Amino acid sequence: MNKRYLILGGIIVAALIVLFSAAFIVNETEQVIITRFGKPVGEPITTPGIHFKVPLIEDATFFEKRFLEWDGDANQVPTKDKRFIWVDTYARWKISDPLLFFQRVRDERGAQARLDDILDGETRNAVAKHDLVELVRSSNRKPMVIADTALAEEALEDVFPSIKYGRAKITREILLAAQERTKELGVELLDIRFKRINYVEEVQRKIYERMITERKRIAEKYRSEGQGMASQILGQKERELKRIQSEAYRTAQEIRGKADAQATAIYARAYDRNAESREFYRFLKTLETYRSTFGEKDWLILTTDNDFYKLLQKIQ
């Protein structure tokens, strides 16, 4: 009886082991390929839930449904205008056909290796077909600070040359070319972008020298324009100053002339009133003459009949 129970229990345990080895769960973020002795069988399983396979014979290989990341290494690439730059790119992709993906690359590590070849190659081809300015700019927008100045049009074009494609169109070109090749791997390439573009050391030094020279030329043009305007303002100031001074001098002379005329008229009226007034006036004017003529150390030699000596003689 006990032996029978042991056999029954062994059968149940074996059945459970077979059941659990045959069942597997597929999550919403996963898709599965069933392989039998290493070869895929049936259609890919993309719906979540519990699924079954033949135990001990078949295996379930899981793949991601979500977007995956590809991050390339920085490569030194020559541009069309023979400038060597470091180009670093990244991309997003997903497994669109898990069966084809399994047959061509087996797993994500194999897919990353193939993407390295495809995306690096297409990036190198695209960069080599365009000038450097096309890779670093996306539009022909002119800087507002420069556009509002008096820089010549040819100088502006030299500093900010027009572009035909731009970075956005070049990345789109790389994406379309790479998508055709990744379809054969069961991979859908979603997007690719330039993470960073930098000059190699030698080119970087030349670019900096060119930038410094160009900025010095622009600064010199600003400086010469400013000096010209300063000279013009100073000239206008001098002319205006001389005009104001001449008008002020003329006005002062007119006022002084009118004042002298009024003073003379007053003196004349006072002189003509009577003899005593005339004598007093003559006395005051003589005193004023003494005050304005004599100093502490002055010497005068006069005759005794000189009118200038009369008052001095009376003082004695």
For residues 133 and 79, give the distance between their C-alpha atoms in angstroms, rounded to a whole number. 10
**Which region among 1-10, 22-31, 150-159, 162-171 has the lowest average model confidence (pLDDT)?**
150-159
Burial of 102 (0-12, 13-18, 19+ CB in 10 A): buried
Residue 309 has pLDDT above 70, yes or no: no
For residues 284 and 73, give the distance between their C-alpha atoms in angstroms, rounded to a whole number. 109
pLDDT digits (tens, 9 = 90+) for 130-189: 998 899 888 887 665 554 454 455 555 556 678 888 999 999 999 999 999 999 999 999
Residue 315 has pLDDT above 70, yes or no: no
Residue 256 has pLDDT above 70, yes or no: yes
Residue 14 has pLDDT above 70, yes or no: no
For residues 113 and 125, give the distance between their C-alpha atoms in angstroms, rounded to a whole number. 19
Strand pairing report for 68-71 and 39-45: unpaired
For residues 60 and 45, give the distance between their C-alpha atoms in angstroms, rounded to a whole number. 10
Give the pLDDT band (50/70/90) at residue 123.
Answer: very high
Ordered alpha helix ranges (H), the chain? 2-22, 98-105, 108-128, 132-136, 144-147, 153-159, 167-182, 201-271, 275-293, 310-315
**What is the model's pTM?**
0.61
**Which region among 56-65, 221-230, 247-256, 268-277 has the lowest average model confidence (pLDDT)?**
268-277
pLDDT digits (tens, 9 = 90+) for 201-242: 877 787 788 888 888 888 888 888 889 899 999 999 999 999
Q: Which CATH code for domain 68-199?
A: 3.30.479.30
What is the structure's pLDDT at 148? 46
